Amino acid sequence: MQIRHSTSTLKRVVLLFAALSAGAAQAQQTPPPPQVSVAKPVVRETVDNDEFIGRFQASEQVSIRSRVGGYLQSVNFKDGQLVKQGDELFEIDQRPFVTAYNQAAAQLAVARSTLTYAQSEFDRVNTLVKSGSQTVSTLDDRRKELQSAQANLQGAQASVERAQLDLTYSKITAPLSGRINRHLISVGNLVQADQTELTTIVALDPIDFYFDIDERRLLNYAETARKNGNVLQEGGGGLKVSVRLGDRDQTKFEGTLNFAENTIDQATGTLRARARFANPGFVLQPGLFGRVEIEGSNSYTAILIPDEAISADQNERVVYVLNPDNTVTTKSVRPGPRLYGYRVIRSGLTGDEQIVVKGVVRVRPGVKVTPVTVELPKENPNDVPATAQEAVSAAGATK
């Protein structure tokens, strides 16, 4: 009896273990559907912005040199300060120029005296010729002396003007308003006329931004300029631009495209353009790196989705679309540039679909999911600066 009871107990244990194993295997074979976040794309009226990289340059720059030679007597500015047009910057030792001016003035006085005497002699002989007391040849001699005295007076006046000009040039003033560099020569050194560079001045308000435009987008801008009644090379077509100095969170500076070169660089296939910005606070400085944005299209209805909702399928880009039975399928899409923190979808979506925006790595075509519906904001708060590689990828995707 004990042997039968033990055998029966053993069978029940074996059957229970088998049932548990089968249940575990069945549970392992049918996992719960993965949970994903789904949302409709953002649909809004927008304008494409093309982005280029460039640097700021001074709208005007001048190298200060002296028009006269001499020893530098004084430097009348502080290195790096803002100067106004007409401010005195340097002074050359004026004593040689004062002496030259006094000498020229004395020669002018002699020339005037000589002319007065020649004029009186001419008048006297002319009167005597009329009475027959002097010959005509004597009158001709006096006329020659008068004309020579007049020419000498003109020469003496020119010498005074030149001496006065040199004396004025001994004080070197700012030809434009802007920020001055450090003085490149110290007091006591000899300054060579038209050769020795004393310092430089750059104009900061307004300031220019130079960048290169590729051929494809150049044609779009030229067409837009023509529609506005302008020419791209003549004033840049009046296109509005904005520049950021660092990441996308920094303040935009608004400006206007006002010039484009007349020849495309054959080596790079690009055309250099210039935008001008008001800079009353002198925040923008020559040499600063920045990213310029230009409106690259007319207004249109854009379909926008997060970058993380886009997957790669060999050489295609796809998104996962939720079906009514909670299964997902893929749709091929053609991405465009980034706007408002999202990626523009050129084709493939209508904007009414529910797409997977989070949990893309957990789904496959035909898989059933547990959807959690979310709403995408009009602008992505998690927007981050686009890298140079992203910019290149976006440009390639829009072709």
pLDDT of amino acid 397: 41
335, 345 in Cβ contact below 8 A?
A: yes
pLDDT at 293: 83
d(CA 111, CA 132): 31
pLDDT of 51 reads 81
Amino acid letter, residue 206? P
Strands of 82-83's sheet, edge to edge?
Answer: 61-65, 197-202, 178-180, 82-83
pLDDT at residue 216, rounded to an integer = 73
Residue 28: predicted pLDDT: 54
Identify the three-state secondary structure at position 190.
strand
* Farthest CA pair distance, the chain: 186
Query: Count of alpha carbons within 13 Å of 186, Cβ hemisphere only?
Result: 0
Q: Average pLDDT per run of 10 along the chain, which is 399 residues long?
A: 53 60 55 85 80 90 93 93 93 93 93 90 83 80 88 92 92 92 93 93 92 80 70 65 73 84 83 89 88 72 88 86 89 84 86 88 87 85 47 39
Q: In which order are the strands placed within the sheet that holds 171-173?
A: 171-173, 88-92, 70-75, 190-191
**pLDDT the model gives residue 393:** 40
Give the pLDDT confidence score for residue 383 in this predicted structure: 57
CB 206 within 8 A of CB 57: no
Bridge partners for 92 per DSSP = 72
CA dihedral of residues 342, 343, 345, 346 (deg, nearest 10): 120
Crossing angle (nearest 10°) for helices 95-131 and 136-169: 160
- Backbone dihedral angles phi then psi of residue 133, each to the nearest 5 degrees: -85, -20
pLDDT of residue 146: 87
Q: How far is it, in rounded angstroms, from Cα 89 to Cα 180? A: 10
Structure confidence at residue 395 (pLDDT): 38
In 3-state terms, what secondary structure has residue 362?
A: helix
Q: Which of 246, 258, 257, 241 is nearest to 284 (CA)?
A: 246
Q: What is the rounded CA–CA span in Å between residue 227 and residue 225?
A: 5
CA-CA distance, 323 to 366, in Å (whole number)? 9
> pTM of the prediction?
0.61
Predicted pLDDT of residue 399: 37
